[in-house]
Structure formats: C-alpha cells, structure tokens
Amino acid sequence: MSDEKRTQETEEQRRKRISGYGMGGVDTVMSVDAVAKEAERIAANAPKEEDLLHLAGGEAFLSIEKLRAGYGRMEILHEFDLRIGKGQSLCLIGPNGAGKSTVLHSIFGFTNIFAGVVRIGEKDVTHMKPNQKLLEAGVAYILQDNSVFPDMTVEENLWMGGFLKNRPEEAREAAEKVFEKYPRLAARRKQPARVLSGGERRLLEISRALVMQPEVLLVDEPSIGLEPRFIDMVFEILEDLQKTEGKTIIMVEQNAKKGLEFADIGYVLVSGQLAKAGPGDELLEDPDVGRLFLGG
Amino acid sequence: MNRRLANVIAILALGVIGILGPWLFPAHLSQFSKLWLFIVLALTWDLLGGQTGYNSFGNVVFFGIGMYAAAVTQVGLYYPVAAYTAAKGGGTEFVFDVAQFYTGLAVGLPVGGIMAALAAAALGMVILGMRGHYFAIATLGLAIAAGELAAGWEYIGAGSGMVTPTPPDTIDTTLLFYYLSFALAAVTFGFLAWLYSTRFGLAINAIRDDEDKAEAMGHHTTRNKVITWTISAFFLGIAGGIFGNLSKFIDPIDVAFNGAEVGVWMILMAILGGKGTLWGPVIGAAVFYVTKELFWTYLLGWQRVALGALIVIIVVFFPQGIVGWLKERWPERFGPSKEEMEAADAKGGA
Amino acid sequence: ECVITMGAAVSLTGKYSTNGTHTKNGYNLALKVINDKGGVKVGDKTCKLAVKYYDDESTPARGAELAERLIKQDGVKFMLGPYSSGLTKAIAPVTEKYKVPMVEANGASRSLFTKGYKYLFAVLSTSEQYLASAVALAAENAEKMGKKPNQITLALAIENDPFSQDIRAGVMDDAKKYGMKIVVDDKLPKELNDMTSTLTKVRALRPDVLVVSGHAKGAATATRQIAEMKIDIPMVAMTHCDSAKIIKKFGKAAEYTLCASQWAPTLKYSDEVFGSAMDFAKLFEKTYGYMPPYQAAESAAAVLVYADAFQRAGSTDPQKVRDALAATDLMTFYGKVKFDETGKNIAKPMVLYQVLNGKYVVVAPSKWAEAQAVIPRPKWSERK
Amino acid sequence: MTQPLLDVCNVSKAFGGVIANRNISLKVNRGQIVGLIGPNGSGKTTLFNSIVGYHPIDDGEIWFKGEEISRYRVGRIARLGLLRTFQQTRIYGRMTCMENMLISLPERESSFLDLLKSRHSAGIQRAKDLLEFVGLYSKRYHYAGDLSFGQQKLLEFAMALINEPEMLLLDEPTAGINPTLINGLIDRLKRANEELGITLLVIEHNMRVIMNLAEHIYCLAHGEMLAEGSPEEIRNDQRVIDAYLGAH
Amino acid sequence: MDNLNLLIQAPILNVQLLLDGLWIGAIFALAAFGMALVWGVMNIINVAQGEFVMLGGFITLMVMEAGLSPLLGIPAAAIVLFVLGWLLYRVIIWRIVDADMFISLLATFGISIMMQQLMNEIFGSDVRTAESGLGMFYLFDNMVTVSQIKVLAFVLAFAIGLALWLFLKRSRLGQAIRATSQNPRAARILGIDTDRVYAATYAINAALCGAAGALVVMAYSIHPYVGLPYTVRSFMIVIMAGLGNLGGVIAAGLGLGAAEQFAGFLLGAEYQLAFVFLLLVVVLVWRQMVLARRRQYLK
Ligand SMILES: Nc1ncnc2c1ncn2[C@@H]1O[C@H](COP(=O)(O)OP(=O)(O)OP(=O)(O)O)[C@@H](O)[C@H]1O
Ligand SMILES: Nc1ncnc2c1ncn2[C@@H]1O[C@H](COP(=O)(O)OP(=O)(O)OP(=O)(O)O)[C@@H](O)[C@H]1O
Ligand SMILES: [Mg+2]
Ligand SMILES: [Mg+2]
C-alpha cells in the first residue's frame, strides 16, 4: 500500500514530505492535564485484539500479549498488547512518560516482567536474557542514548556488531560492505568513535546493529539531537531496510509526524496503555491525534 | 500510625534508654559508651558520605586528631607534654586531682573537636575539589599518612603511644564517659536532624546527585562541602577525645588512626543502616556493633570470618541499607507519608 | 568445689596471634599441671585454677574494654596479662582502678613500671634489659674489632611500636654509657617485609653493631636480607629469633646472629611443679607439638607465681593476694621471681644466645654462658 | 542603543586539533529571544560552555551585564544571573521532583546563614504550579531519577524557570518532548520573557520551535558563524539551506 | 641531610636503591594490572586484592611443602586463584556489579577480612618465606646485590603486561572485555554475555595477584595480614596510571617502588609510608589544580 504510493511519488510530492522536524504553527497550547483527559476519552474505545491483528496483516510475527511490566516493584505497562507482521514497521507515539521506551525495554529484557508474554515467530522470548536476544531471537536494539564504544575505532565498533559470528572474517566482510555503502564512515574507520559527530554516531549504531542481519529492529527515538538533514537520512536508511531487506521495525518517536509518515502501523500509548492504533498515514490525518500528540 | 508520632516515640525511647543506661545494663556500661560513640561515627560519616555524596576513607583522621588533641590538652594544662610522653605516657610524678581531671576534660574535648574541625576545613579546601574516587583515594592516603606521621612524632609519644591522664580514684569514670558519649550522640543526632531539615540539607543533597548541575545553578558547592566536612569533623573529634579516654592508651596506628578498622566500620555502619538517611546510621551502628560484640563473644577465633560473611551478606542483599530496604519493602509504612511530604515542602522555601 | 577463675585477654587473632597463642598455651599448661597435682591449697580449701579468655584482636583499643568486661561482667578477681606491651598499657589502668591484681608475662615496656601501679606484677625482664648484654658484649669485644669501646658505632633498625621502641631506648641509654655512636636509627614500619633501604644505608656506613628488633617479622626479614645482600658487620644482635624460627628457616644465613631471650630451655633453673627448664620444654613439646618459645615459658611462670601467692595469702581476697604477690620470692623453672616496689621482676637476667652450628648457644651473661661469643662474625666471603 | 546584555566577541576554542569555535561574535540584548542553530558538531554546545565558564576560551572576550566574564568560573557566572540547561539532561536523581524545584529557587545572594533558615513561603506554591504546568504534579514526590527521558527534560526546564535568572541559555530544550507539550513550552517561554524579562538564548534543531520562538537567529557551521538574521531571512538564506536545513 | 650526602658521595648506592625499588615496584605493578582491569571493566574496587596476593604466597608454600620447586608455585597459584576468582564471582560479585561502586568496596572488604582470618586459622600468623633456589648476582664488588628471583619478578611483570595487552587487543574475549568496559549496555545488545566477561575479568585479576603472591613469598615474606599494603599500593598505582592504561601501570608501579626506597633511605624507614602517601595526595592535588584550570567538558 504505502509502498506503491512512495515509489510513484513525484518530485513535487517529495518536496512536500516532512523534512527534519517539519514546520508549522505552535498555536495549539494545551495543558498536560487537558491532554490527559482527552486521551482518556479516546482510550475508552481502545482497539481490540482483532483490530491489532488486522493491522498486522492477519498474522503477527512479533506479538506482545497482556504485558504487565515495570521497574522495581512499580508497574508501568498495564496489559499492553502489540502485534506486528513480518516486514512491517510500527511507530509508538504518546506523551512523555507514557511508557514507550518501556515497551522496547521489555521486548529486550531490561525490565521486570510481572505477567504477559512476548513472542517472536513461534518462540516465547519473555524471559530470555538480553544477550541471547540477538543470537536466538534475531532482535537488534538501537538504544535511545549513546551506544558506541568510545575508545574503539569505528572499524572495531563495526566488528563488534558481528561478535556473535563464528568466524571473525565474516564480521570484517560485513564491515567492508557497510563502508562501501557509507563513505562518511569509511573516511573515519581508523579513528576512535568518540570523535564522531552525533549524526555519524547514529549512523554507526544503526549499521552496526545490522551486521548480524537481525529479523527485528527496535529503534528508540532516532531523531533526538540530530540536525534536520540527518533525520531525513536516518529515515531513509530505515526505509531501505524495511523495503529492500524485509526487516521488521518497531520504533519510538517523539518527532511523531516523521515517525507516523514512515511507519505502516501507528500506536498511541497513554499512561502505559494502548489508546489508539491504526495505519500510520491515517493517524497522521486524525484530528484528535494531531491536536493531542502532534502539536496541531 | 502517624509517622511523625512514631519518630517522636523512637527518639523518646532511645533517650530514656540512654539516660537509664546505668540502671538497665550496669555491667555493660563501657560497651554502651562505645555504642553511642559508634553512632556518632556513623552519623558524621554519613553527613559527608551519604548526604553530600563524598565517600571519605579518611574521616578517621579527625577521630585521631581529636583524640590526640584532647589528650594533649588534658595533660598540657598541668604538665609539659614532652616530659609526660618521654616518660612513656605518665608516671608517678604526673598525678591529676579531681579538679584538674574535670577541667582537663572540659577543655580538652572541645579542643579536640575544634582542632579536628580546623583540620577538616584546611584539608577540605585543598582536596574537596576532587571528585569521586579521587577524593576517596586522597582521603585514604591522608589516613595512612596521618597514622605514620603520628607514629614518628616524639612530642606525642611517637610509636610508643600515649596514655590518657589517669583519673583520680574518686571519679567513676565509667559512668562519666557513658554519659558524655550518650550526650554527644544525642546532640549530634539532634543537630543533624535539624540541619537536614534546612535548605542547607537540600543543597548538600544536590551536590550528591549532580554537582555540576548544582554549580551551574549557582550554588556555592565548595563552600558547602567544606562546611559539611568541618561539622562532621567537629563531632568526630569530640568522639575521638572521649574514645581516647575510654581506651586509656592511644596507639597512633592501632587506636587513633585505625583506618583499616574504625575507618571502615563507620562507613559500613552507615551503609548497613541506609546511606543518606537520618536514622540509617543510628540503626546501622546499633546493629553492627551488637552483632560484632556477639560474634566476638560467641565465635571466638572466627569472629572476623563471621563478620566478613555478614558484611558480604548485608551489602549483597541490602545494598540500600536497612532503612532503604524497609522503605522499598513497605513503602506505605516507611516511605514518605503525605503529611511528611507536605511538611517537607516547608523546608527550603526561600 | 572451689575454683579460682582468673581473667585474660590475649591475642587470638590479628598480628600478635602467634605469640598470643604461645601465651595462652603457657597459661593452660601451667593450669593443667597444677590442677592435675590437686590444685592449690588456699587456707583450708584446695582450689582448682581456671582462666576465662577473651580475644583482644591484637589491638589496644579493645584491651581496656575487655578488662572491664572480665572484671565487672564476669566477676573475675585476678588477671593474667595479655600479649604485648601496648595491650598491657591499655589494661593496667583498669585493673588498677578496680584494685584487681594482674600478673603479666608479656608486657616488657619499662614505662609500665614508672606510673606507680600497685596491682601490676611482671615476671619478665623489662625491655631496656633485652639488648643490654649485647651492648656490653660489644664493649667487651671492642678490641677484637680493633677499636676502643667509645669508638664503636651502632646501627639500629627497630620497629615503631611501644615494645620495640622501649628496647631502642634501652640500647640508646647503654650506648651512651659507653660513649658509643649511633649512625643509623631507622624505625621500621609495622607492615614491614622489606628492609633493603635500611640495609643499603648500613652497608654504606659500616657500623660495628647492627641491632634489629621488630618481632618475628623483623628477625626473619633481617636475617634473610643481610645474608642476601652479604652485608658484613662484626656484630648483629636481634630479638625474637626463636619465634621467627630463623635457624630452621634460613640455616646458614642465621649463623653468628646474637639473640636476646628471656629464657632458654638449657638454663639450669627448676621448681617443684615442672621440674627443670628442660623438663618444662619437653612437657610443652609433648602437649603442643613444638618447642616452647620464651613467651610460653614466662606465661606459665606467671601462673606459678599466682599459685604461690594464693597459697601464702591463704585467701582469695584480692587485697591479700596482692600483698602476697608483692612479697613473692620464688624460684621457678623460668628463673627467680622477686618484685621490686614498682612490680617488675628484678631477680632474673636476660640471656643472649648466639647461633653457632645451627644451635642456640648461650653466650652471655657469663654465669650461664655455654661458649665464648664469636666476634667479629666471619665475613660472608670467608664463609663456606 | 544600550549595551547588549550578553556580548560574545571573537571567541575561539579548540580541542587539540579540532577547532570547535572560530572567531564567534554574537550579541543578545536584554529582553530578547535569540536562537542558535547549526549542524551537528558545529560548536553550539561548545559556545554555551565557553559562555558559562566550563572551560577557558583560547581567544576573545565575553561580556555579561557590562562585566567581562571570560575568566570567571561556573559558580560565579551563575550567580551573576546567567543560567543554562544541559543538552544531556541533568537533574538531582535521588531527590524528589519537589526538592529539585525547591533547591532551584533563586539563591544567588544568599549567605550560608540564609541556608539554615527554614520557612514557608510562596516558593512552594510556585514550584507546584510549575510542576503542574509541565505535567509532573502527580510525580512530585517521586525520585527525579525515575522519570522518563522526556520528563527529566521537562523537570530541568521547570527548574530553570523557577530560578528566574536574568538570562537563560537553553540547549535543545524540546528534544524528546511531545509536540503538543512543545507548544506549551514555547508559550511559557514567551511569557517568561515578557512578564519576567528573562532573556533567552536557545539552541534548537527543531525548526518549528525556533522559527516561532526566536526574533533573531544565529547559524553556526564548522565552528564559524555562517549567518544571522530574522527567522525569515535565515529560512531563505541559501547558505543555511545548503549547510543545515536541506531541501525545504 | 646526612643521608643525602651519602647518596652523593657513594653514587653506587643509588643503583642499589633504584634496583630494589624496581623489583618491588614490578610486583606492585603485577597486582595493579588486575585491579586496573576489574576497576575499568566492572567498576569495582577490589579490596581483597592483597588477600589474593597473600593466598598466592600460601599456595606456593604448599607447593614447596609437597616437595616441588617453589617456582612451580607461580603457575600453580595463578591457576588456583583463577578458579577461586571465578567462584567468588559466581557466588558474590555478580550480585553487586551493577550496584554503586561503594557497595563493591565493602563487599570485597568483607571477603578480605574473611580470608585473613581463615588463613590465620589454617596456617597461623607466622611470617613465612620460600627459598626459590635461585641465587644472587653480586655487582661492583658486592656493593650492589641483586636477587635473581626479583629479576624474574621484574621480567615476569613486563611479560605479563605485554601478554595482557595483546590479549585485550586481539583475542575475542579480550575484545568482549574492552567493549563491556566501555559500554556494558551496548555490549549486551550486541549479544555479549557480560556476565561471563565479568567472571573472566575477575578470575584473571585473581590469577595475576596469585602469581604476584608466589613471587612475594620467594622474594620477601608472607603472613595472613600482609595483604593491605598491596591493596593500597595497587590503588595508588591505578589512580596514577589512569584506568585502562597498562603501560602506565607498569611505569607507576616501578616509580612507586623506587620512590619508596629512596624515601626510606633519605627520611628513615619510619617516614617511608607517610612520604609515599603524602606524595600521592600531592599528586592528586596537583592533578586537581590542573583540571580546575581546564574543567571537564560537559554536554
Ligand atoms: N572535549 C572535547 N574534546 C575534543 N573535541 C571536542 C570536545 N568537545 C567538543 N568537541 C568537538 O567539537 C565540535 C563541536 O562540538 P559541540 O558539542 O559544540 O557541537 P554542537 O554544535 O553542540 O553539536 P550537536 O548539535 O550535535 O549537539 C565537535 O566536532 C566535537 O567533536
Ligand atoms: N528506572 C525507572 N524506575 C522507576 N520508574 C521509571 C524508571 N524509568 C522510567 N520510569 C517511569 O516509567 C514511566 C514510563 O517511562 P518511559 O521511559 O517508558 O517513558 P517514555 O514513554 O519513553 O517517555 P519519553 O517520551 O519521555 O521518553 C515514567 O512515568 C517514568 O516515571
Ligand atoms: Mg523514552
Ligand atoms: Mg550540542
């Protein structure tokens, strides 16, 4: 669907697409409480399981069922459900502190899970240790904060991406491919990663996460701190991954316009619960969502 | 139950136990004197370590300085100190009558506290600029160097140590030092309770959590740290002065600047009870001290193995300390209550 | 059943625990022998002896508290001494305060006997005497070293603790008496296990006598490093040779070392309880599996002194026992015991061994000497 | 015209070989809201750090309120009334949100003894109001360290506002904040500027924010000042488009 | 100042002092390697460092008592301590790696006093030594003496330092260790079993200390309470060298050893320690003043 649309896009349409954070007015001023009240109203007819499954194209590749998870003894996610089909992309949006990052954390095993199941393919991965997630479930995670190894060279950082490969040469070959693709990184391959600028770092993190050819990609706020052109670039990379390599992508994004425009499926999370779900483009047009979460 | 009431009851109970001590446990008085002093050690360590976030291995320096300063004053008021220590700490010609002994204490203990505080202020200005581990290591270096220097200084008896003035027969020193220790613990606790309730308490907490931020917000961070350490050293110095008199013999390394034991214990007690809380050090000191004494009575020869095991168990299973653990386990009972939080709002309002 | 319980805080753990154990073994052996022989006659009763122990963890900070605990909580009326002068210093004020007699065997510091304590009695020779005979020996043998006594130079390497520092004070006084000069005066740190920097200085300054005192550690480290660095000095005198087991551990390297000792099994003292010094040594070895160092012997002697005092006092009243103790005049396997008014034993001299052919041979004082001291020591290059 | 509140004259700063700022000049008048934009790594944060005294500058001068502050340390500059927030958020993690707010109340002129007074005051009410505004009222007794990324950002913002400095430097205040709330923040900033006269210098990558907020914008690139002007001028400046904005 | 004159008049003494300083410094460095690793990778300050050294010494004594050459004690101690380190990690340390560094400090302090007393109960508090069977070099007419075991220690410290460096740079485990030390969370998302990395790091540290202990008992002496000085010096060396700088550790170790010897010679043994620790404080204060002038960069 959105696939075709984009390939047929004219030059003019491309220009109109949202770049960076986009522009627009700032007139819709709502208090946090008002947003919360309205969100509650929307959440009253939260999507049902069938709707979610339908959005996922009928068959879920990754599913989260009735998940209750949090930090310490505090529960953040309450009975949270998520379905995504193979090769789809999903964007989570919502107010600050809604629990978006917590969803990704839970998939990877960084939270306390009180109840519920996380399934990937046929496998129940709810209680798998984080370091097994990549090898056994094929999940790669691009963290919200910095995750390069600052004192290793760019090259070594990429090799680390292939740490789980049996032969080190495979990792090196994969790294070479990345360098071919991104000359920006190739130029700096022998320098320690700490000297990279923010955008290059993000690039490195993303390409490193791909060395092991994961099935599922978790991306937490890719556009934080990036200049507009880099944001566009990152989304192009993600698009490429989804379209040409068929990866499944779950992303969290406060730059919600950009995120929803990109994603096949959009979920709105409020107070640890799913409030709304729908195709990305649809949510983007939805007046409620626009007013409450996209800033008008 | 109302938590504020519970607090008051706990304080009253401790006060009554403290005052009635000589009737409640007459045979264990000197052990309890040490318990009160240990509470002071834990409380003062926590002031910098727990509340300000500066973990010091060197607080024992102020303990030692207080101990020596008090003893030297007690002697020096009446006799030349060098002669006293040259006779290897006392002798038949060095007798203290009742008035001299009391005067010596009355002057010596405050002097101990003041000297320690001065030392803290001076040292603090130099090394409190260091952050994190560097500060910890610098204080460790100071603690070791202080012991070695004292052991080389003939005026205070060098490696032979120094005997504190022998009290005249008529004074019941056990009782005297018991009440002194208790009073010191009570005053220290009260003072810190008040200090933590002021805006200053928040200011040092801010240093603990993010010193750069505090500085960027315009706080006088260095001044506040130095003041904190000075206060801590003052009480610690007095505790040292009392401890020296309780131990009767001051060995530079084994008693005064005993970083490997007393120096570590004060940290341990604070952490055991709950770092950065008011009651934590008190509870920690009591639990630690009593356990230590029990081990040491009933597990003779193995008491340190047991103590080591206990330490490991404590820090592994109660990393937030007893108070922290209680708060997490029963937040509704031990966490901040509604009234308390509203009351807390009051502090720091400018 | 009459039992007299004495109290003792000894070092069962910590850095003095070896010697603390010797002390405890000495006390226990004496108790056992006395009790096996029926006990002590006190007036018309016969009483067994017992000891209540606490561990002072080798730190003086505990001493006073323990003494108080023994006296006030456990109701002990008689105290035996701890190991080390530091601990004794911490405990003596307490026993004095409660007027409880203490007979001690391991606190040699002379400063203990300048304070006018009335309840403190020490069976051992005080620290300033430890190396007095070594200095005297140096003066006697000055000619052999090609000098006058007042030209002799000394190097001191002495640990920085109360006991060792008292030994140092004694040596300094004696040296002054002879007009000897001290060229090295290093105080060794408590944690020492390397004294090469001191020895380098010694090699450069070539003194006639090197005096080392630093408990067992000091003796072991010095013996080994003097040999390794082949430092030639005419006389080397130490303390604690036997507790460091230098002969067994270092063999040839230990040869010709002079060692100060409170006591030796070869001495010809004897008493009714243990028999001769050698008998004591054999019994001790049979019981505990090792030859008694002097720390054990003097501790056993302390118990004998108490037994004697109980008997003479005919009572277990501390005051009476104290008076009886003050009047002690007793011969034991350990030597004669007679206290002066300050409480120290003035009837027993120190002895000086020399390691000759892998054995300790008494070389001073001359009354007990088994052989003539070899001075100067052969140079390392001349040894086989 | 009166002298500018903040006057940065020809400031340069290099880290080893990397020249982070070269000959930067910038002026902010009292009561103005000024924006600072530029690609990643162009030296914006470095300039902030130079201004508030985190490191010495290699060359140039910085004046604040007619006083040269290029040699002052952080604390002193802050007490002059020049405050900043951090790109990587900094809050007091083990203090509650409320305590975070209370300790941020203005303290510039207070002596040690002032710190020891504990009295009720309007400060508490202001703290509560601000927390409510950023949506953290219900979390006011939670440890600040347990907040989500965006909530911490909001708390830091509230802390800066309650301090009422004369001038506030904001380093990407809206990164990671929900777009609707961003609108509220902008509104609040404008009001703070108008009502309290707080002068603002803001770093932002979000054009929607900066174009609507700032009255004057500076653009850095490769450590040098590339362009300056009104939002409209900047938006249409070809150099800025090439170096930063990309196809718009 | 007499002592200073002595050094000027008899320059050969400098050689002896320097060499003696280097030997002991090499052993310090050996123990400090491990501390630097554990500190850098696990963010743990291991206070039981000196006790590992002490255990290494006792293991060597046991090897000797079994009738073997004590030189075999070096590998034996390393192996036994590696296993012990691994076990300690599995039982205790893993629970505290993520906690505040101070927690680790206390936990390892607990371990250290347990070990001290256990060894005291088992072996007694006697001072013990082992004879390596290696001889001495005598140079300059016996004015400079060099014990061969100390030379061995010196060479070994260098060799181990080099091997460690290569291991970290080249081997798979080494890479995992480096990655974990720089960013444990990132390491975890790349599939590195950080738990095993930590266990290995801690075990390697123990093994290094064990080897150092074997050398200590042959070159110096050992008793159950000998550990603290080694712990404290490891601390100092790591601080001076900076984390993750193995070359710096060797340099700082040797420098510290030499400084101690000269201090002991010039000021008398009683001020040796005080001098060295005051020097440490001075170094820190100086570093602080330099840093204060160019403050840490903050984002
Ligand atoms: N302490 C430092 N040492 C070395 N280089 C540094 C240091 N701090 C900053 N730099 C370099 O200086 C340049 C400017 O960095 P700065 O953080 O000021 O950029 P910025 O404009 O804030 O970028 P961003 O938008 O990504 O936050 C970068 O190339 C950075 O790598
Ligand atoms: N370590 C933690 N301990 C306790 N509570 C936490 C912790 N981390 C987050 N929380 C709480 O969990 C809730 C959800 O946090 P999460 O990080 O998932 O939010 P988010 O939706 O990603 O928000 P943002 O957009 O601000 O990043 C927040 O209310 C926060 O207070
Ligand atoms: Mg988040
Ligand atoms: Mg920046």
Task: List pLDDT tens digits, range A161-182.
Answer: 888 888 888 888 888 988 888 7
pLDDT above 60 (res A149): yes
Query: Could you tell me which residue, B168 or C312, shows the higher pLDDT?
Result: C312
* Same-domain check for residues D210 and D155: no
Whether E299 contacts chain D with CB within 8 A:
yes
* Same-domain check for residues D110 and D185: no
C-alpha span between E100 and E43 (Å, rounded): 9
CATH number of the CATH domain containing D44: 3.40.50.300
Q: What is the mean pLDDT of chain B?
A: 86
Whether B141 contacts chain E with CB within 8 A:
yes
The beta-strand segments (E) located in E245-298 are: none
Q: Does chain C reach chain A with at least 3 CB pairs under 8 Å?
A: no
What digits encode the pLDDT tens for the residues A220-231? 988 887 888 888
**Residues in chain C, pLDDT under 50:** none
Nearest partner of B97 among B34, B38, B171, judged by Cα: B171
Distance (angstroms) between ligand 4 centre and the Cα of D173 equals 11
CA atoms within 13 A on the CB side of C371: 15
Token pair for residue C219?
Answer: 């003796």
Which residue has its alpha carbon closest to ligand 2 atom 3? D146
C-alpha span between D54 and D51 (Å, rounded): 8
Ligand closest to CA D49? 1
* Same-domain check for residues D202 and D244: yes
* Same-domain check for residues D77 and D171: yes
Q: Last residue of some domain: D164, D194, D218?
A: D164
Q: Helices then strands (H, E): number in chain B?
A: 16, 2
Which residue has its alpha carbon closest to ligand 2 atom 5? D146
pLDDT above 70 (res B348): no
Q: Last residue of some domain: D164, D193, D215?
A: D164
Residue E186 within a domain = yes
Q: What is the mean pLDDT of chain A?
A: 84
Residue D86 within a domain = no
User: CA of D148 to nearest chain E CA: how many angstroms apart?
Assistant: 18
Residue E7 within a domain = no
Residue E90 within a domain = yes
Which residue has its alpha carbon closest to ligand 1 atom 6? D15
pLDDT above 60 (res A91): yes
Residue E4 within a domain = no
Residue E61 within a domain = yes
Which pLDDT does position B332 carry in this prediction?
64
Token pair for residue B318?
Answer: 């109660």
Which pLDDT does position A1 carry in this prediction?
41
Domain coverage including residue E219: 14-298
Token pair for residue E207?
Answer: 């093994």
* Same-domain check for residues D16 and D137: no
Nearest partner of C178 among C146, C152, C147, C207, judged by Cα: C152
For D2-69, the DSSP string reads PPPSEEEEEEEEEETTEEEEEEEEEEE-TT-EEEEE--TTSSHHHHHHHHHTSS--SEEEEEETTEE-
Nearest ligand 1 atom to alpha carbon D48: 18
Q: Do A151 and E185 touch (CB under 8 A)?
A: no
Reported as a pLDDT band with limits 50, 70 and 90, residue D22 is: very high
Strands C275-276 and A74-84: unpaired
Distance (angstroms) between ligand 4 centre and the Cα of A146 equals 14
Query: Could you tell me which residue, B328 or B309, shows the higher pLDDT?
Result: B309
| Pocket of ligand 2 contains residue A144 by CB under 6 Å | no
**Residues in chain E, pLDDT under 70:** 1, 244, 291-299
Distances (CA, A) of C179 to C90, C129, C140, C148: 35, 18, 13, 10
| Pocket of ligand 1 contains residue D39 by CB under 6 Å | no
Query: Could you tell me which residue, A166 or D228, shows the higher pLDDT?
Result: D228
Number of domains comprising chain D: 2
Q: Indicate the top mutation candidate among D147, D148, D154 to test ligand 2's pocket, ranked by most ligand atoms within 8 A of CB.
A: D148
Q: Do D175 and A224 touch (CB under 8 A)?
A: yes
C-alpha span between B211 and E22 (Å, rounded): 40
Distance (angstroms) between ligand 4 centre and the Cα of A201 equals 14
User: CA of D19 to nearest chain B CA: how many angstroms apart?
Assistant: 25
Which strands make up the sheet holding C235-239, listed edge to edge? C181-188, C153-159, C209-213, C235-239, C258-261, C351-356, C359-364
pLDDT above 80 (res A3): no
Which residues from chain B sit within 8 angstroms of residue D99, using beta carbons?
202, 205, 344, 348
Strands D216-221 and D33-37: parallel
Reported as a pLDDT band with limits 50, 70 and 90, residue A4 is: very low
* Same-domain check for residues D127 and D99: yes
Which residue has its alpha carbon closest to ligand 2 atom 18? A99
User: CA of D109 to nearest chain A CA: how many angstroms apart?
Assistant: 34
Whether D125 contacts chain B with CB within 8 A:
no
Q: Last residue of some domain: D109, D129, D164?
A: D164
* Same-domain check for residues D109 and D231: no
* Same-domain check for residues D152 and D174: no
Domain coverage including residue D130: 91-164
Closest residue in chain E to residue A167, using alpha carbons only? E172
Neighbours of B231 (CB within 10 A): 20
Domain annotation for chain B: domains and CATH numbers? 3-349 (1.10.3470)
What digits encode the pLDDT tens for the residues C241-264? 887 888 888 888 899 999 998 888
Nearest partner of A20 among D209, E229, E61, judged by Cα: D209
Q: From chain B, which residues contact C within 8 Å (Cβ)?
A: 26-31, 34, 87-92, 148, 151-152, 158-161, 163, 166-167, 169, 173-174, 243, 246-249, 251, 253-255, 258, 261-262, 296-297, 300-301, 303-304
Q: Do C63 and B247 touch (CB under 8 A)?
A: yes
Q: Do E178 and A133 touch (CB under 8 A)?
A: no
Average pLDDT over residues A26-48: 80
Side chain identity, residue A173 = E
Which residues from chain E sit within 8 angstroms of residue A141, using beta carbons?
189
* Same-domain check for residues D98 and D158: yes
D119-133: b or e for each residue (b if 16 or more CB lie within 10 Å)? eeeebbebbeebbbb
Query: Could you tell me which residue, A184 or D74, shows the higher pLDDT?
Result: D74
Residue E73 within a domain = yes
Which pLDDT does position E211 carry in this prediction?
94
Residue D66 within a domain = yes
| Pocket of ligand 1 contains residue D24 by CB under 6 Å | no
Give the dihedral sign, CA D107/D108/D110/D115.
positive
Average pLDDT over residues B66-73: 96
Distances (CA, A) of B44 to B17, B103, C169: 22, 26, 40
The ipTM estimated for the assembled molecules is 0.85
Which strands make up the sheet holding A74-84, listed edge to edge? A74-84, A62-71, A112-120, A123-124
Residue D62 within a domain = yes
CATH number of the CATH domain containing E144: 1.10.3470
* Same-domain check for residues D97 and D72: no
Q: Could you tell me which residues are beta bridge partners of residue C5?
A: C50
Domain annotation for chain A: domains and CATH numbers? 22-144+214-293 (3.40.50.300)
Residue D9 within a domain = yes
Side chain identity, residue C263 = W
Distance (angstroms) between ligand 1 centre and the Cα of C365 equals 82
Closest residue in chain D to residue A20, using alpha carbons only? D206
Number of domains comprising chain E: 1
Which pLDDT does position C140 carry in this prediction?
86
Residue D18 within a domain = yes
Nearest partner of B158 among B86, B61, B64, judged by Cα: B86
D-E interface: how many C-beta pairs under 8 angstroms? 19
**Within A45-95, where are the H helices?**
49-55
- Please, is B8 exposed, middle or buried when counting C-beta atoms within 10 Å of its C-beta (0-12, 13-18, 19+)? exposed
Residue E5 within a domain = no
Look at residue A258 and give its three-state secondary structure: helix
Look at residue B151 and give its three-state secondary structure: coil
Whether E102 contacts chain D with CB within 8 A:
no
Average pLDDT over residues B278-303: 86
* Same-domain check for residues D75 and D173: yes
Q: Does chain A reach chain D with at least 3 CB pairs under 8 Å?
A: yes
* Same-domain check for residues D55 and D73: yes
Reported as a pLDDT band with limits 50, 70 and 90, residue A267 is: very high
